Amino acid sequence: MGLVVATKMIEIRNLKKYFPLKGGFFNSKQADVKAVEKVNFDIPEGEILGLVGESGSGKTTLGRSIIRLIEPSEGEILYNNENILNFKEKDMRSLRKDFQIIFQDPYASLDPRKKIFDIIAQGLKIHTGLNKQEISNKVKSIIKEVGLQEEHLNRYPHEFSGGQRQRIGIARALVLEPKFIIADEPVSALDVTIQAQILKLILDLKEKYSLTILFISHDLSVINQIADRVMVMYLGHIVEVASTKQLFSNPKHPYTKSLIATAPQIFRKNENKIVLKGDIPSPINPPSGCVFRTRCPHASPDGKEAKIEMGLIEVEPGHWVDRCGANCS
């Protein structure tokens, strides 16, 4: 394709999600869980964008907000130059065909009372005007694509292993021929050998169906294998974005550095690794200024980081780092 600028699949502008915490007198609002704080990013067509962070970083909330499984509090999500947050339920429904999601837990995400055929066919029945025969053909063809057989369609979810269930989850998402997929920790619940099989399947299908994928994971090694570009999230903020190569060879933010240095590796002895102290703070009451300062190994004793506002700056082409983290080490 040469130097053609990739068109954007999705643009996220100032997306914010607060969950109100209610309780007390008249069930009034007590506080907000600040899950996602005004994030901005684009996903070009055909890209696998990795989103990495610890539990509580807001990565799942962000993923689900993009396809409005969770209603964002503020911001814009542009798809084909339209803000889908303004869409009515009816318009959203036709959009859901283009946006699909693969979940982490293949045990919880398949209805135990339905046969595999019905699980995969349900989306087609709702979103397309296809007749029975056409639906059946599509289901039979997709089940082979994900490495299972036609005879599996008459079985129930409990008859399958975790890896097979994840294949069924992928078939259910792909049968609608979506353009954009959110894969929310799709391999975290699987054994290592099965994890490799599923990652390979996702990569193969991505090429075949020219998919754009937001791949959410807590595991940097998995992200390194599959993503073109990586976003690192901490406490609702994106603290670093770069191409996979840039991020792993030249991490800038102390949080990213520590994540990379502490990930257990077979062929690297971590003698002087930077182990972060403490836990991720509560998103109800995040630190002022730089949200990472309470765990940052470079935090200054005078606490000046409490006054540095969060915000990404570009340190090299395509490599963005939070202001405080870009300068601190």
Partner 1 sequence: MKNDTLLSVKNLKTHFSVGNSVVKAVDGISFDLEPGKTFAIVGESGSGKSITALSIMGLLPNNLESVDRGKILFNNQDLLTLDEKEMRKIRGNSVSMIFQEPMTSLNPVYDLSFQISEAIMLHQNKNKQEARKIAIDMLDLVGIPEPQKRIDAFPHELSGGMRQRAMIAMALSCNPKILIADEPTTALDVTIQAQIIELMRDLQKKLGMAIIFITHDLGVVAEISDTVMVMYLGNTMEIANTNKIFSNPKHPYTKSLIEIAPQISEHKREIKVLKGEIPSPMNPPSGCVFRTRCPHASPDGKEAKIEMGLIEVEPGHWVDRCGVGCGN
Q: Which residues bind partner 1 (CB under 8 A)?
A: 54-55, 161, 163-164, 191-197, 199-200, 203, 218-222, 224-226, 244-245, 248, 258-260, 262-270, 273, 275-277, 279-280, 295
Taking the complex as a whole, the smallest distance from the CB of residue 42 to partner 1 amounts, in Å, to: 22
Q: Which is nearer to partner 1, 130 or 261 (CB)?
A: 261
Taking the complex as a whole, the smallest distance from the CB of residue 165 to partner 1 amounts, in Å, to: 12
Taking the complex as a whole, the smallest distance from the CB of residue 123 to partner 1 amounts, in Å, to: 27
Beta carbons within 8 Å of 44's beta carbon, 6+ residues apart: 6, 7, 8, 9, 212
CA 98, CA 78: separation in Å to the nearest integer?
14
CA 108, CA 189: separation in Å to the nearest integer?
11
CA 268, CA 12: separation in Å to the nearest integer?
37
Q: Which is nearer to partner 1, 78 or 261 (CB)?
A: 261
Cα atoms in the Cβ-side hemisphere of radius 13 Å centred on 285: 1
Q: Which is nearer to partner 1, 95 or 247 (CB)?
A: 247
Short-list 206, 133, 143, 134, CA closest to 169 = 143
Taking the complex as a whole, the smallest distance from the CB of residue 234 to partner 1 amounts, in Å, to: 10
Taking the complex as a whole, the smallest distance from the CB of residue 101 to partner 1 amounts, in Å, to: 22
Structure tokens at 206: 């991505």
Q: Which is nearer to partner 1, 26 or 267 (CB)?
A: 267
Q: Which is nearer to partner 1, 128 or 197 (CB)?
A: 197
Q: Which is nearer to partner 1, 174 or 230 (CB)?
A: 230
Q: Which is nearer to partner 1, 177 or 219 (CB)?
A: 219
Taking the complex as a whole, the smallest distance from the CB of residue 84 to partner 1 amounts, in Å, to: 31
CA 26, CA 292: separation in Å to the nearest integer?
35
Element of type H or E holding 326: helix 323-327
CA 227, CA 70: separation in Å to the nearest integer?
24
Taking the complex as a whole, the smallest distance from the CB of residue 219 to partner 1 amounts, in Å, to: 7
Instruction: Produce one character per residue of 301-329: b if its CB has 16 or more CB atoms within 10 Å, e if not.
Output: eeeebeebebebeebeeebbbbebbbebe
Short-list 42, 38, 34, CA closest to 5 = 42
